[in-house]
Amino acid sequence: MTTVLDLLTEPISTTAAYLDLREKIRKELPDVVAAHREEMVIERKLPTAVVHKLRALQVFSIAKPTDMGGLGLSSPEQNDIVESISRIDASVGWCVMIGIDSGIYSGYLDDPHHDYFDQPNLISAGWIHPQGSAIQHGDRIEFSGNWQFGSGIDHADRVMAGVKLYDSREDLDYKTERWQWRILAAHPHDFRVLDTWYTTGLEGSGSRHYTTRAETASVPISRSMSFDMPLRQGPLYTGRDAILRKMPGVPLGIAISAFELALEKAQPKYAEQNEDRALLEQRIGDLYSRLYTARAAVHSSLEHQWAAANDPAKRDALHTAVVGAAIARQNAFRVARDIVRESYDITGGRAIYKDHSRYSIDQMLRDIETVNQHAVAQDAIVRSTGQLALSGATTNPFLSRDETQK
């Protein structure tokens, strides 16, 4: 028998590959994560056994097109898979959310023989913000720099690095404004990983800083990419935001688990209460309502964007769809944080104890506070929407109208 709680976890698609993977995750992943949760906290990265299970499930192939050997899931389906894993543990969900970008990057890289992304289940890591400096030298690009937030870098097969590609050696030396934002596709051996990940939450994500191992590193020109120049066609390559679309799966997954735990703790109280029952009913109902509507907004906005990107006749509507997805994404992060905080309060004094035998409300609170520091959760997204409403333009590179008309 189904209940209203099923509305928070029901599948969002009937695609066979998506449903099959979702069921395998439900059956096979929780026990592996639970057995290694304490190791994950101590080592501050995903344990090898967890990574092996994720690889065995083919999780990292979900964004890779089917003609390249991947599962080829849509953006809404990718987000739901990330949500399903984040309900088990947000650090695992976060690393999956980052790691599947290998399938997205493959559509922007000039790699006709699949020499770089040579397998469909590869794990990517790296910060694409242009923190490094680069210059073209012959048929290669030389680069150096320091990057933050290399989530999952300890088990990554490929590492990306955002750079300022300067027009000339003189521009590089004097750090002029004559540069282009490029993302370089490199290998783990090009970098040295720094032990910097001592954080409030997402402890197991291993989001360490990294730097070029030598004074400079180099990659072939063909391994330099830009989100402005996709080399494949399709809805996954119609804008810079493809790597952002599945991000709300993480906070929503945390919030669903927190709500379920709060409900578990509230039910004995509910059975014992008389006069205060209405108050508890109101609190639980309010949390459910906000979580359901936030999740529904994310999924409906992603479906709308995917449909607009997939149909040339709807391309005029793509910009508004991109903006709608960004607003729903930012709202999901904020609403999820409120839900976790209130679930923590409902849990009461027991919430303060750490418990590595399960995904505890203590860990959920620290995880949700950490993920809410990401740029996609900030009020700047709301301001960009205000700019669009008032002037028809925005300086946000992910939300500008020009971005969807390339």
Q: Is the pLDDT of residue 211 over 60?
A: yes
| Band of pLDDT at residue 406, cut at 50, 70 and 90 | very low
47-85 tens-digit pLDDT? 999 999 999 999 999 999 999 999 999 999 999 999 999
282 Cβ neighbours under 8 A, 6+ residues apart: none
Q: Which residue has the higher pLDDT, 111 or 15?
A: 15
Q: Is the pLDDT of residue 347 over 70?
A: yes
135-176 tens-digit pLDDT? 999 999 999 999 999 999 999 999 999 999 999 999 999 999
Mean pLDDT of all residues in 312-325 = 85
Closest to 213 (Cα-Cα) out of 234, 235, 189, 230: 189
Q: Is residue 14 packed enough to be buried (19+ CB in 10 Å), middle (13-18) or exposed (0-12)?
A: exposed
pLDDT number for residue 179: 97
Structure tokens at 109: 């890289």
Amino acid at 317: A
Could you give the CA distance from residue 280 to residue 286 in angstroms, rounded to a whole number? 10
| Cα angle value 347/351/355 (rounded, 5°) | 130
DSSP 330-367: HHHHHHHHHHHHHHHHHHGGGGGS--TTS--HHHHHHH
Q: Is the pLDDT of residue 403 over 70?
A: no
| Cα angle value 368/366/63 (rounded, 5°) | 45
| Cα angle value 156/161/163 (rounded, 5°) | 180
CA distances from 158 to 39, 99, 165, 187 (A): 24, 9, 20, 5
CB 89 within 8 A of CB 359: yes
| Band of pLDDT at residue 354, cut at 50, 70 and 90 | confident
The 8-class DSSP code of residue 31 comes to H
